[in-house]
């Protein structure tokens, strides 16, 4: 996935944005024949993600002779532990430092938060889903990071699954009409229901997957008992680390949470060079 044109274009744009016509400080301060070893070091306990991008970053820029990944995506790194090491031109290491850290810090942050959600529902049988609430242009990377944290990826975009949401229901003239229109699709079909009546209509139409939105855990438990296994149930809306286990214990098969990608704080890593 990281070798895709989409990701390479993103890396190229990030390098161009930061380096532009050249890293003037490094050119002035560092001789062109200097070589160094650089260390990406966790400054907090975190879940690793994004290290797969390092070969792409240095491959685009050039000047690296060795890259060693110490922690793979999904691994834990403790405060002070190395995540990756890179050897090559000192100029390359310094010029690529911020771009590499920006990718790693953002993606490790998503993976670390994702793992907290997964651990919060451990033992319930409920799985955590991510959403499309991602940084524009970063969706594949942020979903990769969420998966590294143990989250199950939901649909990638509007093209790979049918998710009939509230506005679709309004536009179609009701949940029954929307489900009937979607029935010929060969893609997975899920319908969002916000009222008891919509839930009953959806079940009567043979809906096999329902998204229950903006319910309290107690309300969700009542609705799920009524569904009684006739449909797979996903819960969404107002899900936080503090309440996600209560929603999972309501009997949901899945709980989706946009905060994993739209509100994850960047993880703390730094980069240190050692001149060879």
| pLDDT tops 90 at residue 137 | yes
Q: Which of 8, 12, 139, 165 is catalytic?
A: 165
Please tell me which residue in 12, 132, 133, 194 is annotated as part of the active site.
Answer: 133
Does residue 98 carry a catalytic annotation? yes
The domain 5-117+264-275: what is its CATH number?
3.90.1170.20
**Which pLDDT does position 193 carry in this prediction?**
94
Query: Is 9 known to be catalytic?
Result: no
> For the sheet containing 35-42, what is the strand order?
64-69, 82-89, 35-42, 269-275
pLDDT of residue 4: 86
pLDDT grade for 258, boundaries at 50, 70 and 90 = very high
- List the catalytic residue out of 12, 98, 116, 139: 98
Residue 227 above 80 pLDDT?
A: yes
Phi, psi of 44 (to 5 degrees): -160, 165
- Rounded-to-integer distance, Cα 224 and Cα 231, Å: 9
165 in active site: yes
Rg (CA), the chain: 23
Is 66 labeled as catalytic in the residue annotation?
Answer: no
* Mean pLDDT, residues 130-153: 97
For 88-100, how does the pLDDT look when each residue is reduced to its tens digit (9 = 90+)? 999 999 999 999 9
Report the pLDDT value the prediction gives residue 254, as an integer from 0 to 100: 98
- 100-135 pLDDT, tens digit per residue, is 999 999 999 999 999 999 999 999 999 999 999 999
Query: Pick the catalytic residue: 18, 81, 213, 268?
Result: 213
- Rounded to an integer, the average pLDDT of 224-237 is 96
- State the pLDDT confidence band at 65, using cuts at 50, 70 and 90: very high
Could you give the CA distance from residue 136 to residue 80 in angstroms, rounded to a whole number? Answer: 32
Q: What is the mean pLDDT of residues 267-276?
A: 97
For the chain, give the mean pLDDT. 96
Q: Which two tokens stand for residue 226?
A: 């009524």
HSE-CB at 13 with a 13 A cutoff on CA atoms is 8
Q: Which residues on adjacent β-strands are paired with residue 191?
A: 164, 210
**Any idea where the domains of the chain sit in the sequence?**
5-117+264-275, 123-262
Cβ 191 vs Cβ 164: under 8 Å: yes
Is pLDDT of 3 > 90? Answer: no
Q: Is the pLDDT of residue 2 over 80?
A: no
CB 206 within 8 A of CB 227: no
Q: What's the CA gap between 210 and 254, in Å, rounded?
A: 10
Q: Looking at domain 123-262, which of 3.10.620.30, 3.20.20.70, 2.40.30.10, 1.10.287.470 is its CATH number?
A: 3.20.20.70
d(C-alpha 63, C-alpha 57), whole Å: 11
| Whether 70 is catalytic | no
Q: 1 pLDDT exceeds 90?
A: no
Separation between Cα atoms, residue 136 and residue 157, nearest integer Å: 12
Beta strands in 133-262 (DSSP E): 162-164, 189-193, 209-213, 232-236, 254-256
> Cα 17 from chain centroid?
23
Catalytic residue of the set 52, 192, 198, 253: 192
How far is 51 from 100, CA to CA, in rounded Å? 9
E strand or H helix that includes residue 6: helix 5-19
CA–CA distance, 90 with 20 (Å, rounded to integer): 18
- CA 87 from centroid of its chain's CA atoms: 29
pLDDT mean over 151-176: 95
């Amino acid at each position: 996935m990281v070798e895709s044109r989409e990701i390479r274009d993103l890396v190229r744009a990030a390098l161009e944005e930061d380096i532009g016509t050249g890293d003037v400080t490094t050119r002035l301060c560092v001789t062109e024949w200097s070589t160094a070893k650089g260390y990406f070091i966790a400054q907090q306990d975190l879940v690793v993600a994004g290290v797969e991008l390092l070969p792409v970053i240095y491959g685009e820029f050039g000047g690296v002779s060795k890259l060693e990944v110490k922690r793979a995506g999904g691994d834990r790194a403790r405060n002070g532990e190395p995540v990756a090491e890179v050897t090559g031109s000192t100029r390359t290491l310094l010029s690529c430092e911020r771009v590499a850290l920006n990718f790693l810090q953002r993606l490790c942050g998503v993976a670390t938060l994702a793992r907290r959600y997964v651990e919060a529902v451990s033992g319930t049988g409920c799985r955590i889903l991510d959403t499309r609430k991602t940084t524009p242009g970063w969706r594949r990377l942020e979903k990769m990071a969420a998966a590294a944290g143990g989250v199950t990826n939901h649909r990638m975009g509007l093209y790979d699954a049918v998710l009939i949401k509230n506005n679709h229901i309004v536009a179609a003239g009701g949940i029954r009409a929307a489900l009937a229109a979607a029935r010929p699709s060969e893609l997975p079909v899920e319908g969002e229901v916000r009222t008891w009546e919509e839930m009953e209509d959806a079940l009567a139409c043979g809906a096999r997957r329902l998204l229950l939105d903006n319910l309290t855990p107690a309300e969700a438990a009542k609705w799920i008992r009524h569904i009684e296994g006739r449909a797979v149930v996903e819960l969404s809306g107002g899900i936080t680390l503090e309440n996600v286990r209560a929603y999972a214990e309501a009997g949901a098969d899945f709980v989706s949470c946009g905060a994993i990608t739209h509100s994850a704080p960047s993880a703390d890593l730094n980069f240190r060079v050692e001149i060879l």
